[in-house]
Amino acid sequence: MNTATLSRWLLFGEWRAHLVQVTVALIAIAIGVAMAFSIHLINTAAFNEFSAASKSLSGQSDLQVRGRKAFFDEALYPVLAQHDGVAVANPVLEFDVAIPGKQQNRNDHKLKIIGIDMFRAMRISPDLLGLVEEGKTLDRLADDAIFLSPAAMEWLQVEQGDSLQLNAGLQAVTLRVAGGLVRARAGQRIAVMDIGAAQWRFQQLGVLSRIELKLRDGVNHAAFKAKLAEELGEAYWVTEAVDQEKRIANMSRAYRINLNMLALVALFTGTFLVFSTQVLSVIRRRQQFALLRVLGFTRQQLLRQIMTEGGILGVSGSLLGLALGYAVAVLAIRLLGGDLGTNFFPGVKPGIHFDPWDAGIFFAVGLGVTLLGSIIPALEAARAKPALALRSGSEDTAMAKLSPPWFALICLSVAALFTQLPPVFELPIFGYLAIVLLLIGGIALMPRLTAGFFSAALAKWQRHQSGAVSTLALARLANAPNQAAIALGGILASFSLMVAMAIMVTSFRISIDNWLGRVLPADLYVRAAASGDLQTDAQKAIADLPGFDRVDFFRTQQLTLDVNRPEITLFARPVDKADARNTLPLTDDMIASESLPENVMPIWVSEAMVDLYGYRVGERVTLPIGTASNEFLVAGVWRDYGRQFGAIQMQLADYQALTGDLGVNTVALWLQPGTSSDAATAGLRQLPFGAALEISRSSDMRALSLEIFDRSFAVTYLLELVAVVIGLLGVAASFSAQTLARVKEFGMLRHIGVMRRQILVMLAAEGGLLTALGMVLGFLLGWSISLILVFIVNPQSFHWTMQLHLPWNWLAMIAVIMLVAAALTALLAGRRAISGEVIRAVREDW
């Protein structure tokens, strides 16, 4: 028999004999690769599609001029159109409008309208030109014509020639669907109008959103951009297409990378199952390998044999994971959309593209972690002395090198150090490295912890003169700690990961629920339709209605403080002057109201403003509010879970004094005792403009917010369930393999009079005790990891803090399931192990 034939015979013989253990390891690797690959496919597809959709709106422009606010004076347009070096200047007005009858308080009830100059757009943004009926070219300039993308037509259930009613502020606007936008991206819900008609119809006279510039041939883009930015001053941003792509990438980068990291941690957990499977396989075949060595098998051949087994396992699991990941990605796109339940990529309908290069990377990762789990048992088998390995009872010494605690202590120490390091490129790289090191260090400590715990338990148990079965179970666990630690490693890794994610998600959800109670204190909230304002007469009409105890008016708008970041939100509202904590969910970082100087205007910034823009309490900052930039004092920091990229609160009176803008777009209403929300809503609807109002109860807004949260964390919930499944598979594989490897031990026990029933009880006790210890240690390790997720990863990724909450009911349920699974697995495997003849079980020792 040649070496290749012998290697193949050894491989298939082992896998046929222990198909369940091999299948479990294969599934663990496949699940880990599938989760990581599917998340990568979905995120890449959504980002690329959203980027392509944004490019189609910007067209072939070289530069774009935007204001720090959402809109700016159109007087800038003729200045840029006549500027030296500019070939074409294309004015654009972009805004959202509400659709009557669509669900309120959600982004999918709004339609994006783009106002363009048809003659300029022909040269810069031809994709935005609507397709008109033959002979009706002038419809592109008609004041009642609107052109819809195919996705918008399908969503609104209209066709060419139909009428479409939209809400503009407090008025309804009826337009004619004059044609379609055939070049719009799939899923892109947009509408295009003549810019003059859009300004007039939707009360946006005299303002623009951006001006797209196409430069003359030979003009140096970088030099022109720098010169124009200097000429326009701080009120405007001059950007390129690459800036817009960077901005889009920054919107979702933290979410995408965190999901990928969590998926890779799940894959890393699967490594321990591979390690457990390979170690138990090596221990079980220890005497076989020693015999092969005696018969002439070299160390290199033996090492190659075990690594080949691990490599084939990794190749098979990774290929299966890639196929499963692709299928999961396609299914997730259909069920959750390209944003995985979030709203980072609205209005896109991405298609999954299989990139061989990306697939190769994830295949290499899956194969790499499998080989990583195989290398230690392979080295031990190759280095073992045949004479010692041929002896019975030497199995536990096989992994004795794992016992020294110095390696574990180094990992835990470095992990603690990494938790103190700052983010890298605004990402918690060291936080995730700390999690990995905690897992490695915790599992590396298992032999010492197992031996110490069960030795102490055995000594205490013997002092009480307990039964033989329980003494045997504890003696086994105390005197074979390395084998017990192998089974414990898979339980520890999976259970700790599950605990950590459960605590993180629960903490976040409860924190958001509590926060919503602070930021939505009123009974009703009233808004004008998208892009509309409530002027003073409308405000007075609402305030004069009976049934309300208190009425507060809000003004919100978007500001761009950094061209490479998404806009921040400015809230102008009444803030309690005596104590701002009565109005805002402030952290402890604040200036008391009585300590505020009288000569400056205070603002309160969200936690993201501190991390992203460096705002500190007590500092004076300049913001583009009003006709010129004005100075403000940062008076406090507040928690904001609704806006990841920053928000600022200021007094409404200060805002109105600076801008002269008396309009508002949100009203908070507190009901008088005895007044129902239905009666108050009916009263608001009776107003002349009542039909155009969006009226929401705070309870409904709160429920919707939590629904959005659950949808956004759907993938995290899935990863949590994956951790549970991997843990249960690990329990089954570890105990089954260990039990089958102890056939000779059970045969000897049968020879000295131990009954089958007693052996089964002993196995169930061992499984239960070992799993219980694993869950206790897993809970401690998972709790430590959750601290990193809650207090390091989340603040560094999303710039908010939260309180720690533990889901005791969920954790108890999973603990009971894993405990029962371990005991049942040990029983089932034990029945098989003791089903043979007693003499046959021990004949190799005779």
Please give the average per-residue pLDDT across 525-541, as a whole number. Answer: 84
pLDDT in tens, 618-646: 999 999 888 778 899 999 999 998 888 89
User: Which of 111-115, 249-253, 323-327, 395-399 is the least confident region?
Assistant: 395-399
Question: What local confidence, expressed as pLDDT, does residue 794 receive?
Answer: 86
CA separation for the pair 300, 235 (Å, rounded): 71
Question: What local confidence, expressed as pLDDT, does residue 313 receive?
Answer: 85
Residue type, 283: I
Measured from the Cβ of residue 537, the count of other Cβ atoms closer than 10 Å reads 9
Please give the average per-residue pLDDT across 518-529, as a whole number. Answer: 88
Mention every residue, 6+ apart, whose C-beta is less than 8 A from residue 96. 110, 111, 112, 113, 530, 531
Cα four-point dihedral sign 322, 323, 329, 332: negative
Helix ranges (DSSP H) in 18-74 = 19-58
CA separation for the pair 653, 573 (Å, rounded): 8
Indicate whether 219 pLDDT > 80.
yes
Residue 420: pLDDT band by 50, 70, 90 thresholds? very high
For a pLDDT cut of 70, what percent of the chain falls above it?
84
Q: What is the mean pLDDT of the chain?
A: 82
CA separation for the pair 148, 158 (Å, rounded): 9
CA separation for the pair 837, 513 (Å, rounded): 62
Please give the average per-residue pLDDT across 519-532, as a whole number. Answer: 83
Please give the average per-residue pLDDT across 158-167, as a whole number. Answer: 89
User: Which of 172-176, 236-240, 397-401 is the least confident region?
Assistant: 397-401
Indicate whether 417 pLDDT > 90.
yes
pLDDT in tens, 332-368: 777 766 555 555 556 566 778 888 888 998 899 888 8
Question: What local confidence, expressed as pLDDT, does residue 602 receive?
Answer: 94
User: Which of 292-301, 392-401, 629-638, 727-736 is the least confident region?
Assistant: 392-401
pLDDT in tens, 675-694: 999 999 999 999 988 888 88
Cβ atoms of 22 and 735 within 8 Å: the answer is no
Structure-token match 């230690």, residue found = 376
Residue type, 760: L
pLDDT in tens, 436-448: 899 888 888 887 8
Measured from the Cβ of residue 356, the count of other Cβ atoms closer than 10 Å reads 8
Question: What local confidence, expressed as pLDDT, does residue 218 receive?
Answer: 87
pLDDT in tens, 87-112: 999 999 998 888 876 655 455 568 89
Residue type, 225: K
Question: What local confidence, expressed as pLDDT, does residue 105 receive?
Answer: 46
Indicate whether 567 pLDDT > 80.
yes
For a pLDDT cut of 90, what percent of the chain falls above it?
28
pLDDT in tens, 586-595: 998 899 888 8
Mention every residue, 6+ apart, whose C-beta is less than 8 A from residue 650. 570, 571, 572, 573, 575, 601, 602, 603, 604, 625, 632
DSSP-derived letter for residue 103 is P
Region class of 135: left (phi > 0), else alpha (psi between -120 and 50), else beta: left
pTM confidence score? 0.81
Indicate whether 651 pLDDT > 90.
yes
Residue 639: helix, strand or coil by DSSP? Answer: coil
CA separation for the pair 489, 487 (Å, rounded): 6
Q: Closest Cα to residue 481, out of 377, 399, 394, 411?
A: 399
Question: What local confidence, expressed as pLDDT, does residue 846 receive?
Answer: 42
**Distance spanning both ends of the chain, measured CA to CA:** 29
Question: What local confidence, expressed as pLDDT, does residue 167 receive?
Answer: 78
Please give the average per-residue pLDDT across 728-755, as a whole number. Answer: 70
- Check residues 249 and 613 and name the one with the higher pLDDT: 613
Cβ atoms of 457 and 478 within 8 Å: the answer is yes
Q: Which two tokens stand for residue 542?
A: 């609402």
pLDDT in tens, 16-70: 766 767 777 788 788 878 877 887 888 778 777 777 777 777 677 889 999 988 8
Question: What local confidence, expressed as pLDDT, does residue 635 receive?
Answer: 94
